[in-house]
Amino acid sequence: MVVSGKSKVLGVVGNPVSHSLSPLIHNYVYSLLGIDAVYIPIEAKEAYIEEVLSGLCFMTNVIGFNVTIPFKERVLRLMDMNSEEANAIGAVNTVKRGEDKLIGYNTDWKGFVESLRVNGVERVNSALVVGAGGASKAVAYGLIRMGVERLFVTNRNPTHLEMFLERFPSFQPVRWDQDEISKVLPDVDLVVNTTSLGMDGVSFPPVDLERLKKSAVIYDLIYRPAKTPFLRWAEEMGLKAVNGLDMLILQALYAVEIWFGKVVDFEQVRDYVHQMGGSNGQA
Provide the 10 A C-beta neighbour count for residue 124: 21
| Residue 181 to residues 126, 151, 159, Cα–Cα distance (Å) | 14, 13, 18
147: left (phi over 0), alpha (psi -120 to 50) or beta: left
Catalytic-labelled residue, pool 8, 45, 72, 110: 72
Closest among 181, 188, 198 to 243, alpha carbons compared? 198
198: left (phi over 0), alpha (psi -120 to 50) or beta: left
| Annotated catalytic residue 45 | no
* CA 252-5-104 angle, 5° bins: 30
What is the DSSP code (8-state) at residue 22?
Answer: H
Provide the 10 A C-beta neighbour count for residue 196: 15
Q: Are the C-beta atoms of 115 and 242 separated by less than 8 Å?
A: yes
Rounded Cα gap, residues 59 and 100, in angstroms = 9
* CA 269-273-276 angle, 5° bins: 140
Q: Are the C-beta atoms of 132 and 190 separated by less than 8 Å?
A: no
Q: Is 151 helix (H, G, I), strand (E, B) or coil?
A: strand
Instruction: State the alpha helices, DSSP H only, in 40-185.
Output: 49-57, 84-89, 108-118, 134-146, 158-167, 178-182
Amino acid occupying residue 49: I
Enumerate the active-site residues.
72
